[in-house]
Amino acid sequence: MSNASARKRLSIGIVGGGIGGVALAVALSRDPGLDVSLFEAAPQFSEIGAGVSFGPNAVQAIRLLGLEDPYRRIADSSPAPFEDVWFEWRRGRDDAYLTASLAPGCGQSSVHRADFLDAIVANLPGGIAQFGKRCIDVQQDERGATAHFDDGTRFTGDILIGFDGIKSAVREHVLPPAHYGELEPFWSGTYAYRGMIPVRQLEAAMVDRGVNPRLAVVPQMYLGHDRHILTFPVKQSELINVVAFLTDRATPTPRLAEGEAWVNAVTQAELLAVFDGWGAASRAILACIAEPTRWALHELPALPRYHRERVLIVGDAAHAMLPHQGAGAGQALEDAYVLASLLTDDACTRHNAPQVLAAFAAVRHARTCQVQRTSHEAGDLYEYRMPGIGDDGAHLAAELETRFDWLWNHDPRDDVAAARARLAWEPVARSALA
């Protein structure tokens, strides 16, 4: 710790410069009593992937983090008069309408991942981020926590936050394999074929096939046996984000081929073959993706804990999940808000920081595990594998109309209040956050 950080109330190291890690760093940087350092393995901030969807709970977390203005400048939403539509649901084989899931006042709020990260980074003060810092080991004692990086450097602070993704290096320190076994990412059995299509191109392709072109711009989900397709707009509705899913359910524990990369470029012919016999809308969409990529979707098991004394894992490092509820990034942002609210409170010091991290983990664990589990189950629902529902249209519609309410209606301020109660802090926050 530097002399400067020693004079501050608390020094914090954040490992990982993705959306969640940068959002946390921005929120913490507003408190002059904190010394904040952010370590990113890459040479600069960057995001892989394309579109990312946020439910009402995530949009609220963005607002509470003080990032609503930059988000609104780049966010897409469902076009009028479909502003409240999260997704319309259709049968993949014939485009038949089933129902719509509505998120009043929010709808399908989405951005391009890289654009959103850039928007958050613009709010990060200089001197906080360091690049080329790949964490390879974590140690701690009663005085602090140390991250060791592969360039031979290290950082020691009062606490260390692992926001370093599904392949987290911090996770092994929190959950030592000698005590917990190997808690590694596993392949879900699902491949996601991804592509981006200019909206005018997709509209024209749909008209050519006799499909209403509004299906190009209103978020859609096309359902089928062991596969489904989703579309929603990004880049100010200039592009349509497409993800087509295929799940191998031949075995309860599917395995990737030895040496297979998580992400591969594949041919359009492969993608079209997967959805052979599907309806006109689906075929129009897939025919517009000349160079798809195929992602082997991995997730984490529900972890028994997220915290070990002065070290905490959050976001995908703690609860990486499948994207079927559009909830992964939202959970990272909820984590960032709740954690920042506690760490920016004057009652949080270097002496009680381990207890503060423990209170955070205690109030977040059940929710994030439930979001993980239900995200996996949602894939079964969309692909006609949910027990008692299958491909029954009426049962599907009834489930889809209300399934996400519990997820979207959660208020992370309640988590802050619950953590404060565990810590016996005053019920009225003295936090620097809203």
Place of tokens 């940068």: 22
pLDDT tens profile 376-421 = 999 999 999 999 999 999 999 999 999 999 999 999 999 999 999 9
Residues with catalytic function: 194
User: Residue 379, Cα to own-chain centre: how many angstroms?
Assistant: 16
In the chain, % of residues over pLDDT 70:
97
Of the candidates 220, 240, 233, 236, which has an alpha carbon nearest to the alpha carbon of residue 72?
236
**Per-residue pLDDT at 369 exceeds 80:** yes
Sorted by where each starts, the structural domains of the chain and their CATH numbers stand as 3-76+113-184+304-423 (3.50.50.60), 186-299 (3.30.9.30)
Q: Where are the alpha helices (DSSP H) in 188-230?
A: 199-208, 214-217
The stretch 241-249 carries a mean pLDDT of 97
Q: Give the pLDDT confidence score for residue 430 in this predicted structure.
A: 47
**Per-residue pLDDT at 80 exceeds 70:** yes
pLDDT tens profile 335-349 = 999 999 999 999 999
Burial of 129 (0-12, 13-18, 19+ CB in 10 A): buried
Burial of 324 (0-12, 13-18, 19+ CB in 10 A): buried
Q: DSSP E strands: which ranges in 70-127?
A: 85-91, 97-102, 109-112
pLDDT tens profile 188-240 = 999 999 999 999 999 999 999 999 999 999 999 999 999 999 999 988 889 99
pLDDT tens profile 230-241 = 999 988 889 999
pLDDT tens profile 20-34 = 999 999 999 999 999
Of the candidates 169, 176, 125, which has an alpha carbon nearest to the alpha carbon of residue 150?
169
Which segment of 5-14, 47-56, 256-265, 309-318 scores lowest on mean pLDDT? 47-56
Q: Give the pLDDT confidence score for residue 33 in this predicted structure.
A: 96
pTM of the model: 0.95
> Alpha-carbon distance 389 to 397, whole Å?
10
| Mean pLDDT rounded to a whole number for the chain | 94
**Per-residue pLDDT at 6 exceeds 60:** no
The residues facing 264 across adjacent strands are: 294
